[in-house]
Structure 1
Amino acid sequence: MDKEGDGSDTALQKQEWARTQDVLKSRLILQDDFGWSLPSMSSDSDQSDPTGGKLKYIGGVDISFLKEGPSTACAALVVLNAQTLEIVHEEFDVVRMQVPYIPGFLAFREAPILLGLLEKMKTNAQHLYPQLLMVDGNGLLHPRGFGLACHLGVLADLPTIGVGKNLHHVDGLNQSEVRRQLEAKENCNKEYILLTGQSGATWGAAMRSCPGSSKPIYISVGHRILLDSAIGVVKYCCKYRVPEPTRQADIRSKVYLQQHLRLQQ
């Protein structure tokens, strides 16, 4: 197909995906819609549901790509004991990516694979199924206000948090300005700042997640959770710069992919 045809097909695909995003976005729940509280948090949250108790299982998802052939990838879902942050279950899937990456529409490339892992877990280890999902990617902090964490959260019907390592430059947000604000004298003792755009909307938060970290992480709401709660969860899960659920998903997906390739050789 000629380049003109390719461009037309891409434009049509983006229009279709944008319509799908709009439909899913209408289903977003932007409040705390759960009955549990974190082990280290006060019991105030339990009052919303007396049967809720403490959070037991936190999931983390990530996808690692083969450098030599970026269409080959390994998706990982890890589940951590919320009390100890130790891994209690993991699922993997090595795939050949069929959907191209188009900026603003990452979820259409990655979400079906990650949803497949969640479905697999319902069969293999339903009793360990996560009550909360942490995503290596963004939620509301996204050019269309509906990133991978939102997409996954709505379709899996799970409280979901997006944790990005890079900042989407939406609504006037600027990475160097965010870092300057975090390092400013009046903020030097603050662990995070809110990401408020030129419109006045709050898109998420930039957090210094561990002492000595020069690069913040970017937290945004995915689904069924408030930003304040999301910040608390991420802070609780951080031993290093990246919170344990997504850090372990990243590490283990890379290891699994290399092992898979060695077995094929």
Structure 2
Amino acid sequence: MSDSTSFAALHRAGDPLLLPNAWDCASARVLAAHGFAAVGTTSLGVAAAAGLPDGASATREETLRLAVALGPEPFLLSVDAESGFSDDPEEVARLAVELAAAGAVGVNLEDGLGPAALHAEKIAAVKAAAPGLFVNARTDTYWLGDGSGTAERLDAYQQAGADGVFVPGITDPADISGVLRGLDVPLNVLLTPAGPGVPRLTDLGVHRISLGSLLYRRALGAALETALAVLGGGEAAERVLSYEEVQALSG
């Protein structure tokens, strides 16, 4: 079984793929070392670490560089590529070929509530150029809107060849069930404090649960809390990896 086939097989109703999202080599390696067979990247984490804005097509090279570094690792890698960093489907397809050559088995492409037809063209171009790459087609109808047009967009994306679809921001169990009924491909949702937890999402039949930028934001929060605690004469309350442990992740 190929890596891409293995990755697709992890998307199971009743036993969903819990996908943690890393922002650099160390974060990806520590997650894989603790049993996660697949790791995604977070566009927010990659962009913020480079001092660049997320969702602005500013991090193509940083994203590709991380994929090249992580692609040979002994875990399955899915890359968050924002909207493909271009409105030209052929340019997005060229990026997909580079990601696949680097060793990535999946790519996440978001529509940003732009034209659904254009996003469908990007998906079709990627599948034609890199057929083995698992395309997770994201719609931002709930993330940036009120959910209107979700079914129509998802149908267009699966018709264009998407291997799975991603609806971040959807939290109502009835809405999730409704989306599932209209799909022929796996559904990915984002774990959020406002939405159902992993057990409920599993019961609903979701195939993939992403953590998105949660781990990166949590890491920043922990760093700030630790610095403030030390400033106040206290100690770090949570587990801190040793220098040697981090060095081992950087080899």
Structure 1 length normalisation: TM-score?
Answer: 0.33
Higher strand share: 1
Higher helix share: 2
Structure 2 length normalisation: TM-score?
Answer: 0.35
